[in-house]
Structure 1
Amino acid sequence: MTKRLAAFLVCAVASLAAQAATIDAVISPNAIVVTVDGQARVHTLEGKPVLYCGLEAFLGWSARLLGAQIDPGAEAGPVVTLGGKTVPIALLFVREGWLRSPALNDAAQEALAERRGGWACAPKTEPFAQMGNRVDPKITAGIAMNESSYRGRPWPWTLNVAGRGMFFSTREEAYAAINRLLANQRCDFDVGLMQVNWCYHGKRFASPWEALAPATNIRVAEDILTENLQRSGSAMKAVAWYHSANPERGGPYFSRFMKHVATFQ
C-alpha cells in the first residue's frame, strides 16, 4: 500500500467517524435529538404522537434507542440502526404504535388494529374512527366485537371457516390460510376485523391480501351496512342483517351488538 493511499484511507475513516450520528435524546414520538460531530440538533417527524398511554410509557419504550446510530440525512428521513438492521425511525414509531402517520399505510393500520404501543390505551372505537369514514365508529366497533373478538378486542387476522373461528398471529399467516382455502375451491369463510363473507362479498376486494387490510375491511363493511340500511330503512335491521336477515338469528346478534356498544366511552 502506498503512503498516499494509506493517508487517503486514514482521512476517509476520520471523516466517517466525524460524521457518525447518534440519538442523544427522544423528546416525543415526533421529535428526537441527534448528535452529529458533537453538535446536537432536533429532528421532527411527520405525524401525530399517539400518547393514549401517556408520554412516560413512550419514553420508557424509546429508552432502547438512546445512543443508537442514525443517518439523519437519509431520503426516507432519519434512519436508525438497531441490531444490525436499518429502519426509518418514523416507520419504527408508526409500526410500534407511537406515531400516527399522515397516510394510513399498512404499518399504521396494523399498529392500530393490533392496538400496539400507545393505541393499547385508546378507546375500542378509535381504530374504527381512524380507518372508517361513513359509519359511526361505535357501530362498526360493536359489530367487530361480535365478529372477531379475541381476548376482549377485535382481532384483524381472524377467519371463520364454516362456523369455526381461527385467530392468527400475523396477516401473513391469515393470508396463507385463505390461499389454502381458495386452492380447495372454498369460499365459505369470513375475513378480517369485520368478518366479511367471501362467498357473498369476495368480489368487493382487489385480492385476499387486501381483504385483510383493516381499513379496507372496515370500508367494505360500511358499504354492506349502508346497503342494508337503504334496503330496510331501519338502522336496527341494517346491523342485524349484517349477520342474517332471519330474525331468529339477526335478533340475538343485534342484542349482543347493543351490549358491546353500551360499554364504549
Structure 2
Amino acid sequence: MNIKKIVPLILTLSISVNAHSNSVLDNSVWGVAASYAGINVATLYGIAVQESGMRWRDGSFRPWPWTLNINKSKKGIKAGPRRYANKEAAEQALKALIEEGIRNVDVGIMQVNLYWHGNKVSNELDLLDPKTNINVAASYLKVLRAQNDIRKTVADYHAPTNAVRGNSYVNHVKRFEKIINEKLK
C-alpha cells in the first residue's frame, strides 16, 4: 500500500473510532510512538490536532500532514502557517525555504521545528513523512517526559521558556484529548 493511501487511513482511524478500535489506535503509528514517549496516545494525537489541525471536507477536524509554519518573517517571507495540497508541494516549499536560509520552520503533522530537530533525520525533507515526523516528536516528548509531569511535558513541547503560553497550549491539547478519549469509549 502506498503512503498516499496509508496516511489518510491512519488519520481516519485515529479520530473516527468505534468501541473496538482502541486496539487499532494503540497498534497504529500513533500508539507505538505514544508508548515510546511514555504518554497517552490521545495526548499525542491531541498535540497533532493542536499543531496542524484543520477542518477536512468530511467535516472532521484532524491534523494535516502537509503543514509548514514559518515562525519569524525573514527575507520578505511572512511568518505564519501554510497548508499544501500534497507532500510534493510541501516538499517544494520547504526546500525553497531551506535554500533561502529560513530554518525556524515547524514541519508536518506534529510541527517539528526544523532548526531544533532537523538533525534528527538524514534528510530534512523526511520531516514531511508523517511516520517520521510523529517519531521525531515522540523522541522529543520522551526527553521532556523525563520530568515525569505530563502537563509540563506538553507545555514544554510547545513553549519550553514561556510558562503562560505553555499552559494555554496544554489546555487546548487536553480539550482535544478529551474528545479523542470520548470517541475511544
Give the alignment's TM-score, normalised by structure 2: 0.77
Provide the rounded CA distance (Å) in 2 between the counterparts of 1:221 and 1:131. 12
From 122, 135, 146, the counterpart of 2:16: 122
Partner of 2:29: 131
Deviation at 1:154, TM superposition (A): 0.4
Task: Note the residue ranges of structure 2 that are not aligned, 5 or more in a row.
Answer: 35-39, 56-60, 72-78
Per-residue CA shift, 1:108-150, capped at 9, x if unaligned?
A: 53233564xxx59733986685113141321111001110011
Q: Is the 8 A contact 1:157 1:174 kept in 2?
A: yes
Partner of 1:3: none
Deviation at 1:205, TM superposition (A): 1.5
Q: Which runs of 4+ in 1 moved over 2 A?
A: 106-115, 119-129
Root-mean-square deviation over aligned CA pairs: 2.3
SS in 1 for 2:81: strand
Letter in 1 for 2:169: Y
Residue 171 and residue 142 in structure 1: after superposition, are their counterparts in 2 closer, same or farther (change >3 A)?
Answer: same
Letter in 2 for 1:237: K
Partner of 1:173: 89
Residue 240 and residue 141 in structure 1: after superposition, are their counterparts in 2 closer, same or farther (change >3 A)?
Answer: same
Q: Is the 8 A contact 1:175 1:208 kept in 2?
A: no
Partner of 2:149: 234
Residue 180 and residue 254 in structure 1: after superposition, are their counterparts in 2 closer, same or farther (change >3 A)?
Answer: same
In terms of fraction of residues, the more strand-rich structure is 1
Larger RCO (CA under 8 A, 6+ residues apart)? 2
Give the alignment's TM-score, normalised by structure 1: 0.55
Residue 173 and residue 229 in structure 1: after superposition, are their counterparts in 2 closer, same or farther (change >3 A)?
Answer: same
Q: Which has the larger radius of gyration?
A: 1
SS in 1 for 2:7: helix
In terms of fraction of residues, the more helix-rich structure is 2
